[in-house]
Amino acid sequence: MSIMKEKILRFKYMIIPIAMFVILGIGGAIVLALGFSAHSLSKIPTIIVDHDNSLSTQALIREIRTNSKFNVVAYSQVDNDVKDLIDKGKVSIGFIIPKNFSKDLTDMKNPKIMVIYDGSQMAMTSSSKTRVAQILSTIKSAYLIEVVEGQLGLMPEVAANYINPIRYNSRIIGNPTENMFNFFIPGFAINTIQVGMIIVVILLINKGNSYKKMWIKGVMVGFLASASVITIMGIYCKYFGLPYRGSVEAAIMLTILFCIGMTFIGVLLIILYNENQLNALGFVGPIAITLFLVGYTFPTVAMPEIIPMVAKYIPFYYYAIPLRDLSLVGGSFQDNLPNIFWLIKFVIFMWVTTFLLYKVKERKKVRREKKDSIINSQDAEVII
């Protein structure tokens, strides 16, 4: 017990970082995951305004009502009710079916249904648009098949071939359910750890620490952060349904290299600002925007041309996106060797840069101290 107590006291400075990574890192990641535990949007509040009240519109309403994506909470005969309920936040989607919809459909006049979306709820809007198109396409195809059957006396299967002479199958690889949790949340959790590890190492480095002590603290925080990220991914896979299809070894190697390399960003900042923790912490915030710059949330191909060029020099680009691909698509260790080699070079670059910068700062400090001692000795001689 006495030996254990001695060890704890010797490394007591690591208690706070461990607590931060466990409570804030892992705990925050779990809270974030709970917010997206539904995985995909469903039961979107919906209003239907039906001016026709025909059998055709009743079939359409039944398709909407029985679709898991929508939750019809209101029916009306007034168009303005759609905007009013959207403005009040009570619904996100409104369907307005025009008068004489069924008659115009029979007369081949192509009646139009108005679908109104709440533009402030883009996640709901984008999620529901595809489903709306599917429902309307189903209704349209069913109606046209009936018309062709009646006019040409064809069997339903033959009529369907007339209506849809070209058919296609689609397949989404990696995230077939279009699950927002799988796509976004791991990246956001890792981004939080990324910022946290830099803050922790800045707070751990004390004035007068040798580079050896800085290096040890940086590596230790890097391993702690790696353990935190791996734990988060494990929790997501086991308890929140996150798939993982790729090489586990590749994920672990990428995680360790990324975390150690990013930790030394904190070491670099503390050396640059002469061990002034407050000034160094002021430059940690911008690290968080790398999540957006590397194309994790929005593709870089849609950004200004300079952004994709900058993204290739950001470590997050070689870690978060490959990790997501490993999780959703799969991949072997060999597939990720280019990313691993880039991160190895990044770690070595950070070690060399921080060491050289530390040496330069130390030399300047020694020269300044010598200069101050000479001035003080001269002043003392003048006083004598």
For 264-284, write each residue's pLDDT tens digit. 999 999 999 887 887 888 888
pLDDT average, residue stretch 353-380 = 79
pLDDT average, residue stretch 109-123 = 82
pLDDT average, residue stretch 328-334 = 92
* Domain spans, the chain: 2-36+179-370, 44-163
Q: Which residues of 285-321 are buried (b: 16+ CB within 10 A; e: fewer)?
A: eebeebbebbbbeeebeeeeeebbeebeebbbbbbbb
Task: Please state which of the ranges 19-28, 43-52, 77-86 shows the lowest mean pLDDT.
Answer: 19-28
pLDDT on residue 28? 82
**Looking at domain 44-163, which of 1.25.40.10, 1.10.579.10, 3.40.1710.10, 3.40.1160.10 is its CATH number?**
3.40.1710.10
Task: Please state which of the ranges 40-54, 131-145, 322-336 shows the lowest mean pLDDT.
Answer: 131-145
